[in-house]
């Protein structure tokens, strides 16, 4: 079974997402264009533009194209709020869903924390990055945990 629900759990296999890539490009371009409105010295603006470009490439590789070693390639979410994240480098991390996850028909942002503590992290799942049935079940479990 590629993606789907079994035993109160959803397994979401992620693939590269054009939607997420477009969102990342649009948000970084908005940030870069806002620099033109500031009256900062030119060298500072150029340095900020370089940082925005580096951030865009890093986020595209990690989140949208899934070609970074730390990219999330699979997400297993149980109804009780427990999840397991699988990275491209083979690493597996267990954690729990935190309040404040965002759910929309086209996008789900899962806020989670490792079971041993640490900062809250996010996993972005666009509609075109997963099977439609798995994405739908993921959204339902995030909105209405069992």
pLDDT above 70: residue 2: no
Domain boundaries, the chain: 4-15+70-143, 19-64
Tokens of 102: 């965002």
Exposure string for 7-34, b = 16+ CB within 10 A, e = fewer: eebbbbbbebbeebbebbeeebeeebee
Share of the chain above pLDDT 90, in %: 84
Share of the chain above pLDDT 70, in %: 95
pLDDT above 60: residue 3: no
* Rounded average pLDDT over 130-146: 91
pLDDT above 80: residue 37: yes
Tokens of 31: 């940030």
Signed CA dihedral, 110, 111, 115, 118: sign only: positive
């Amino acid at each position: 079974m590629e993606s789907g629900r079994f035993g109160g759990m959803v397994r979401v296999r992620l693939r590269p997402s054009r939607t997420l890539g477009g969102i990342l490009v649009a948000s970084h371009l908005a940030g870069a264009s806002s620099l033109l409105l500031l009256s900062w010295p030119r060298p500072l603006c150029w340095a900020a533009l370089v940082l925005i470009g580096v951030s865009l490439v890093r986020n595209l590789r990690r989140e949208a194209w899934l070609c970074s070693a730390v990219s999330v390639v699979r997400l297993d979410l149980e109804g009780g709020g427990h999840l397991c994240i699988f990275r491209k480098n083979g690493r597996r991390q267990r954690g729990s869903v935190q309040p404040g996850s965002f759910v929309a028909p086209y996008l789900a942002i899962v806020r989670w924390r490792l079971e041993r503590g640490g900062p809250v992290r996010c996993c972005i799942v666009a509609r075109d990055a997963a099977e439609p049935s798995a994405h739908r079940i993921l959204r339902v479990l995030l909105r209405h945990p069992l």
